[in-house]
Structure 1
Amino acid sequence: MPLALLALAISAFGIGTCEFIISGGLLPELAADLRVGVPSAGLLVTAYAFGVVVDAPLLTLLGTRLPRKTMLLFLMALFITGNLLSALAPTYGVLMIGRILAAFAHGAYFGVGAVVAAGLVEPHRRARALALMFTGLSLANVLGVPGGTAIGQAFGWRAAFWAVVAIGAVGLAGVAALVPSQARSREGGLGRELTVFRQGGVWLALATTVLGFAPVFTVITFVAPMMTDVADFSPEAIPVVMGVFGVGLVLGNLLGGRLADRSVQHAIYGSVGALTMLSLGTALTAANKPALVVTITLFGVAAFATIPPLQTQVLDSAEKAPTLASAANIGAFNLANALGSLLAGLAVDTGYGYTSPAWIAVILGIAGLVMAGLTSFRRRSRVPAAPNRSTAKTTM
């Protein structure tokens, strides 16, 4: 695989660490230092997600006239600026601005980066290239967030943001040195990028991402209280189990890339189907410690095994102008996160218990499989039939 993929993965590692660094354990300290309530500090996480969903596609759209490497460099510079502002923020308001700036870079970077990564390799290896780039994101959950949290707890929450700035600088340098220059596609441009959204297949692919990935945060949002209150784990065991879950994310991401290079649609059916079954398994094994650990680990594998095929499907659906559609799919992943956590919260708040989100995840997973089937059916119905060989010979 090209070294340019390493540069893309390093940047993805920094962006993923930035996304989860506050919720990873720094929230109480940050709230106390800035003299705001913990719920107000929690809005820094919400604002980041909102920025990814809404603003990142718009930023990608504005950058359609730029070469993709130039756009990546601009986005990493914006990401560094946002985290630098966060590290220096004297007030809560300034920190909020820094988080939103970093969020602007997030979705657009993964959208443009996915197109660049796919273009660095032969067509039959595109999904594996995407998986390698997104490995940076999965490693952020395993190494970046725990490491950043440890730095923040030892040296103050601002030190964690300085660490993210440093990672971003390495990623920027790597993109500048290793990613080849790419002239702007003559088939691209603002009009072409917008035109692909007239295609029903693009919308079906985006809907498949939302519903197919939604089970992940539906289950994970309340997995910690489920472990302590239902399975009777000690609080000290939670980081260990979640660390194993993070390893599952890395393995699943790489597995999903290999499977998607063989068949995108079969990889979607397999990964979303496994995610649905493991959501059911989580509900059924919640009171059994050993079984729950195995289920959560496998759930992590299935969760990130969905990413390469779902992203590849969108690139296939908008192949003539994929950049904006790719960025929109990153927003679809974040919309899935928001939908899953919202439904999980509603279920728990209404008194259905900590296993109820897993049952909701089963329903969402089934809906994702239905949407994947509709997407596949539409693609097959639009493929022109091959000419009859015998007829072709008699007319020559």
Structure 2
Amino acid sequence: MTDTPSRDLRPAILALALGAFAIGTSEFSAMGLLPFFAGDLGLSESQAGHVISAYAIGVVVGAPITSMMGAKLPRRRFLAALMAFYGVMNLAAAVMPGFASLTGARFLAGLPHGGFLGVAMLYAADALPLGQRARGAAQVILGLTVANIVGVPLAGWMGQVIGWRWGFAMPGAIALASAWAILRLAPRVGGNPHARPWDELAALSNPRVLWTLAVGAIGFGGLFSVYAFMTAAILATTEAPPYVIPLTLAVFGIGGTLGTWAAGRYTEWLGTDRAAYLSLAAMAVTQGFAALVVGSWPLMVVSSFLIAAGAGLVIPLQTRLMEVAGRAQNMAAAMNHAAFNAANALGPFLGGLALAAGWGWRAPGVVGIALTAAGALVLTLARRQERKARARAATSG
């Protein structure tokens, strides 16, 4: 922990939040840009969904690797390097000529995602006094929230009006600005030379961690199945005016902000598992509504708000991970983002298969309900395994 006064840390945390803003803009705007780069590159919607899935797979692959790489390194330089790489790969995606090269660039862009967000949250928390640690982590994640309200709609507008490539170039430039700001503004807090990177892998051998990650990786896929194809569904089934696409994306961001705030409150009231079940139930209901209202753009805008507002699952699952991860907090923080990006790969992939099979634009909502129900089943199995483990421990004791 640094001795720098907290007032001097505000610009540094803002620099980290700017990086989170770039990540949120790039990740979610890709879904809104899908119909535009699909049309330009001559792809079907299901093929274009693989570009989104490639990014998510990059996050899953990169999270454990970057967590181990950063165990001993000074966090300031490590975070700046991750964000600089992120910026370069987004700019590369903006100029790639075809499907294969665009998919590859998006995979590479995903590699630093989980490591940056996980380490940035811990860096901000550790840099502040003990009573303000949660505030520092929340301020970093605020960048993701603002991205869904401002950055994603702006990128969607760019894709619709001046070209989809600008929707990737913008977060790339913001990421490079964040990397520069981190180097200039973040305190020079040294790394931990005694850290043992392989110790972080202990999180991946902890059954309670793995079960929790599986709930997010499967259950949250329902949200992404619907959201990934929402822009395409509006364009294909309605005669919506041009402002509806950025409006839909902005409304999604507002719903996500309110839903995240609410999830924090009801997680405190109900406990992690009950809160997770409540979130999964809300997701299933809102995804069903999304399927029913296809063809009516005003109701699809309302649906965008509802599916985001009901998707507070990340909060109880993150709390659960903090409780069960032990000393491997870095890995758990990064892998939580990896799990939700595994959902980001799974949801669009299955939704795309349903579209390719000719099931129509309601199909992503139906797929979403199935994935959410599967997530609830995994949570039930996780709780059963934990009860059996406690019973065995009590018997052996």
Q: Is the 8 A contact 1:131 1:308 kept in 2?
A: no
When residues 219 and 195 of structure 1 are mapped into structure 2, their CA distance, relative to the original with a 3 A threshold, is: same
- Name the counterpart of 1:269: 277
Q: Is the 8 A contact 1:131 1:256 kept in 2?
A: no
Question: 1:127-206 maps to which residues of 2 (within 5 A)?
Answer: 130-151=137-158, 163-176=170-183, 179-180=186-187, 182-184=189-191, 188-206=195-213
Which of 5, 8, 22 is the matching residue for 2:16?
A: 8
- Name the counterpart of 1:76: 83
Q: CA deviation at 1:335?
A: 1.3
When residues 121 and 257 of structure 1 are mapped into structure 2, their CA distance, relative to the original with a 3 A threshold, is: farther
When residues 357 and 193 of structure 1 are mapped into structure 2, their CA distance, relative to the original with a 3 A threshold, is: same
Q: CA deviation at 1:78?
A: 1.8
When residues 69 and 265 of structure 1 are mapped into structure 2, their CA distance, relative to the original with a 3 A threshold, is: farther
The CA deviation string for residues 246-281 of structure 1, in whole angstroms up to 9 with x for no partner, is 321222233334444554334323222211222233
- Name the counterpart of 1:333: 340
- Name the counterpart of 1:392: none
When residues 152 and 208 of structure 1 are mapped into structure 2, their CA distance, relative to the original with a 3 A threshold, is: closer
Q: So what's the TM-score if we normalise by structure 1? A: 0.77
Which of 53, 61, 68 is the matching residue for 2:60?
A: 53
Q: Distance in 1 between matches of 2:350 and 2:100?
A: 29
State whether structure 2 residue 27 is matched by structure 1 residue 19.
yes
State whether structure 2 residue 263 is matched by structure 1 residue 256.
yes
Q: CA deviation at 1:349?
A: 3.0
3-state secondary structure, aligned to 2:326: coil
Which of 321, 327, 341 is the matching residue for 1:320?
A: 327
When residues 119 and 199 of structure 1 are mapped into structure 2, their CA distance, relative to the original with a 3 A threshold, is: same
Give the aligned CA root-mean-square deviation in angstroms. 3.9
The CA deviation string for residues 70-94 of structure 1, in whole angstroms up to 9 with x for no partner, is 3212211222333455567689887
Amino acid at match of 1:335: A
Question: Which range moved further: 48-57 or 286-295?
Answer: 286-295
Contiguous gaps of at least 5 residues in structure 2: 1-5, 392-397
3-state secondary structure, aligned to 1:65: coil
Q: CA deviation at 1:20?
A: 4.5
Q: So what's the TM-score if we normalise by structure 2? A: 0.77
- Name the counterpart of 1:215: 222
When residues 154 and 283 of structure 1 are mapped into structure 2, their CA distance, relative to the original with a 3 A threshold, is: closer
State whether structure 2 residue 114 is matched by structure 1 residue 107.
yes
Larger radius of gyration: 1
Q: CA deviation at 1:203?
A: 0.6
When residues 205 and 186 of structure 1 are mapped into structure 2, their CA distance, relative to the original with a 3 A threshold, is: farther
When residues 187 and 274 of structure 1 are mapped into structure 2, their CA distance, relative to the original with a 3 A threshold, is: farther
3-state secondary structure, aligned to 2:361: coil
Q: Percent identity?
A: 34
3-state secondary structure, aligned to 1:320: coil
When residues 382 and 52 of structure 1 are mapped into structure 2, their CA distance, relative to the original with a 3 A threshold, is: same
Q: Distance in 2 between matches of 1:68 and 1:206?
A: 25
3-state secondary structure, aligned to 2:359: coil
Q: CA deviation at 1:201?
A: 0.4
Q: Is the 8 A contact 1:55 1:104 kept in 2?
A: yes
Q: Is the 8 A contact 2:251 2:305 kept in 1?
A: yes
